[in-house]
């Protein structure tokens, strides 16, 4: 094991980063969270604040103008933003999701061209894998890319694309050799401004309403051949390798949502009085709070552990259990977030069920963490295969 990275304990620098991002989130992001949710609008204030403080894409290496922050630092940023506003946390999270395929498999010129604008805050980067008939079975995608001289021509429609229409760049998976199944899929960078690119209407969602989710529609989109990410036919392999790293960011988002709900519930039970004393004095309430905090801390430790393994893998180490721990932390943290936010609503009683208090929003936001980047049922399939192989 390399001595360059800690086991999984955050360093002093990590904790200073947490203080910085928490203060920023509480002052610049949290005040807009309820209105962003209510009006289902993009949290521009959050993007502006994150870019102004160089916290919108901290994972991008210094070689491409980024901070070069490690995976644990990225987790902490996403966690702290999600504690204030889950929709806003998808800015750093999806910037990582969209760029990791380029970081893992892209050529040097592609990295320089597309990572630098993201690092400068001039563009965001989304990830387009799923389709209407290709969700958990992502290899069943129908989007095609056909070589035409020095170009590729893409046709198809990608579904459930986070921050679609706002992001300038998209990592798009498309079939280049229909006879080869998953080995016939390649990855490409598509730009929002490419002729033939359009977007479907915004999905009307239960939660994360401030982050637009739309189809990305590709109609005879002609792109230069050098926009392929890695070798032809390696796209699906890149997609799976990407998810090993980015499931951890969804775990981070889930941790933040749960922490926000727990913090609010603790404050409430200390103040709310019934039968002449704060309800936090009642043992039944104390047991609920204890269970919420215990399970959240367990999920956090697993997520931080996975983040350190992700960092090692990015530095070229062989990490045989990365797939297992990344699936495990995503699955555990999102299940915990759903339970913690539901309990927070319960602790607030009738108030918890109203939009005057933030925990109902947090409960709605938590649900998606059990679904996207692989449902938790698929995570259990992935984990079982890793254990049994």
Please report the domains of the chain, with CATH numbers, ordered by start residue.
Answer: 12-119 (1.10.540.10), 125-233 (2.40.110.10), 236-388 (1.20.140.10)
* Residue 193, number of CB atoms within 10 A of its CB: 8
Q: What is the pLDDT of residue 9?
A: 76
* Residue 283, number of CB atoms within 10 A of its CB: 8
Those residues with Cβ within 8 angstroms of residue 129's Cβ, 6 or more apart along the chain or in another chain? 138, 141, 158, 173, 239
Phi and psi at residue 15, to the nearest 5°: -70, -35
CA dihedral for 126, 132, 138, 141, sign (positive or negative)? negative
Tell me how far apart the alpha carbons of residues 251 and 236 are, in angstroms, rounded to a whole number: 22
Tell me how far apart the alpha carbons of residues 120 and 52 are, in angstroms, rounded to a whole number: 10
- Beta-bridge mates of residue 126: 170
Helix (H, G, I), strand (E, B) or coil at 199: strand
Contact 168, 124 (CB under 8 A): yes
* pTM: predicted TM-score of the whole model, two decimal places: 0.97
* Residue 36, number of CB atoms within 10 A of its CB: 24
Those residues with Cβ within 8 angstroms of residue 44's Cβ, 6 or more apart along the chain or in another chain? none
Helix (H, G, I), strand (E, B) or coil at 159: strand
Contact 239, 101 (CB under 8 A): yes
Helix (H, G, I), strand (E, B) or coil at 296: helix
For 96, 99, 196, 209, the CA distances from 104, given in Å and listed in that order, are 12, 9, 27, 30
Which of 80, 131, 360, 373 is catalytic? The answer is 373
For residue 294, give both structure tokens: 């215990």
Tell me how far apart the alpha carbons of residues 153 and 127 are, in angstroms, rounded to a whole number: 18
For residue 330, give both structure tokens: 């995503």
* Residue 57 DSSP code: S
Q: What is the pLDDT of residue 3?
A: 45
Contact 245, 313 (CB under 8 A): yes
Buried/exposed 125-138: b ≥16 CB within 10 Å, e otherwise: bbbbbbbeebbeeb
Q: What is the pLDDT of residue 1?
A: 40
* Residue 178 DSSP code: G
Contact 69, 59 (CB under 8 A): yes
pLDDT digits (tens), the chain, 389 positions:
444 555 567 899 999 999 999 999 999 999 999 999 999 999 999 999 999 999 999 999 999 999 999 999 999 999 999 999 999 999 999 999 999 999 999 999 999 999 999 999 999 999 999 999 999 999 999 999 999 999 999 999 999 999 999 999 999 999 999 999 999 999 999 999 999 999 999 999 999 999 999 999 999 999 999 999 999 999 999 999 999 999 999 999 999 999 999 999 999 999 999 999 999 999 999 999 999 999 999 999 999 999 999 999 999 999 999 999 999 999 999 999 999 999 999 999 999 999 999 999 999 999 999 999 999 999 999 999 999 99
For residue 37, give both structure tokens: 């949710």
Task: Determine whether 373 is an active site residue.
Answer: yes
């Amino acid at each position: 094991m390399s001595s360059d990275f800690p086991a999984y304990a955050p360093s002093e620098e990590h904790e200073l980063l947490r203080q910085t991002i928490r203060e920023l989130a509480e002052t610049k992001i949290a005040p807009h969270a309820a209105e962003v949710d209510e009006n289902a609008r993009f949290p521009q204030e959050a993007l502006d604040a994150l870019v102004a403080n160089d916290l919108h894409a901290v994972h991008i290496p210094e070689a491409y103008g980024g901070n070069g922050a490690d995976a644990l630092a990225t987790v902490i940023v996403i966690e702290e933003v999600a504690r204030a506003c889950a929709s806003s946390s998808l800015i750093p999270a999806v910037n990582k999701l969209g760029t990791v395929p380029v970081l893992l498999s892209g050529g040097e010129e592609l990295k320089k061209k597309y990572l630098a604008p993201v690092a400068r805050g001039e563009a965001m980067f989304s990830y387009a894998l799923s389709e209407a008939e290709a969700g958990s079975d992502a290899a069943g995608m129908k989007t095609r890319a056909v070589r035409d001289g020095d170009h590729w021509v893409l046709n198809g429609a990608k579904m459930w694309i986070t921050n679609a229409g706002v992001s300038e760049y998209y990592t798009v998976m498309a079939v280049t050799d229909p006879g080869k199944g998953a080995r016939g899929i390649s990855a490409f960078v598509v730009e929002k401004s490419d002729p033939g690119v359009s977007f479907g209407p915004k999905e009307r969602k239960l939660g994360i309403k401030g982050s637009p989710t739309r189809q990305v529609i590709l109609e005879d989109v002609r792109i230069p051949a050098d926009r392929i990410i890695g070798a032809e036919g390696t796209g699906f392999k890149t997609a799976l390798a990407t998810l090993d790293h980015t499931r951890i960011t969804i775990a981070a988002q889930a941790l933040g949502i749960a922490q926000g709900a727990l913090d609010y519930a603790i404050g409430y039970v200390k103040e709310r009085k019934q039968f002449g004393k704060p309800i936090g004095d009642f043992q039944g309430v104390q047991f609920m709070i204890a269970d919420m905090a215990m399970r959240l801390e367990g999920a956090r430790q697993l997520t931080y552990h996975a983040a350190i393994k992700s960092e090692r893998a990015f530095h070229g180490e062989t990490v045989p259990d990365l797939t297992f721990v990344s699936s495990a932390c995503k699955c555990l943290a999102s299940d915990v977030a759903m339970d913690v936010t539901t309990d927070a609503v319960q602790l607030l009683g009738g108030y918890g069920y109203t939009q005057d208090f933030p925990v109902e929003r947090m409960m709605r936001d938590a649900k998606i963490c059990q679904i996207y980047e692989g449902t938790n049922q698929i995570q259990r399939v992935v984990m079982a295969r890793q254990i049994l192989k």
